[in-house]
Amino acid sequence: MSITINALRHDTYYFFLKQIKNILFISLAIACINITIDTFIQPDVHIMSIIEEKNFINSNSLLDLINNMNQAEKYELFKYSILKIIMLLISKTLLLGGIITLILSSLEKRNKPITFLVYFLYKFIPSIFILNCLTAIIIQLGFMFLIIPGILLSILLSLSPIIFSFKKHGLIDSMCSSVYISWKYINIIGPSILFWMIGRFFLTIIFSNFCFFNKNIIFFILNISTNMLFSFLIVYLFRFYMLISRT
């Protein structure tokens, strides 16, 4: 059975439009959670003003900023960075879990009660969070050396949560299977990951230039937009793995 990008894109569009209300609701909920967490973890006003006013064009500008800070400011920046990373991992985990649960429930011929879906998500989330932490560490190590290894690792590990959701593999086995399958079908998976990365980059650039609205509103809309874009990618990858599993 041959798998083409056009066929996958068509199936993804069909499911995405059919479930647009549910996907939008999940994206809105995750965006609200992000706003709430970000409000609680924001550092001192002085640190935030430095972060917002400084343009980090390269790593040297970030190093200059850190070198000009005192110990208390360095500690606040470090604590904020760690909490921000945890927040991003939590939001990604919840979005992944929510969309995958939505897809799995739609595949069932009988409608599952909401209590069953919540229970499934509750059991599913901790493992996905650990998997996201592992893949994030590996991908960031790739980006630390050069951009290309980071992008390649993002492509190779992209199927890990999808494979794990089928409950046939452990965390490490899911990552290894993802690397094998993604490398074999990199011509199909690669463009979708690149499209998601480029789309997220342009959305961030566009919304960061909106100076006429409150920054919290812009952050909220940006979160919804990136969540919707990531949801589309999840559906695409899930459909791809379903077709691969049948061959």
Residues whose CB falls within 8 Å of the CB of residue 133, separated by 6 or more in sequence, listed in order: 89
pLDDT at residue 122 in the model: 73
Tokens of 240: 């791809």
Cα atoms in the Cβ-side hemisphere of radius 13 Å centred on 223: 25
pLDDT in tens, 190-203: 999 999 999 998 88
Whether the pLDDT of residue 42 is over 90: the answer is: no
pLDDT band (50, 70, 90) for residue 168: low
- Alpha-carbon Rg for the chain, nearest whole angstrom, is 19
Domain segments of the chain as ranges = 5-246
Closest CA to 6 of 240, 247, 168: 240
pLDDT in tens, 128-159: 899 999 999 898 888 877 788 889 999 999 99
Tokens of 49: 């003003």
CA-CA distances (angstroms) from residue 140 to 34, 64, 174?
A: 21, 22, 19
Largest Cα separation within the chain, whole Å, is: 61
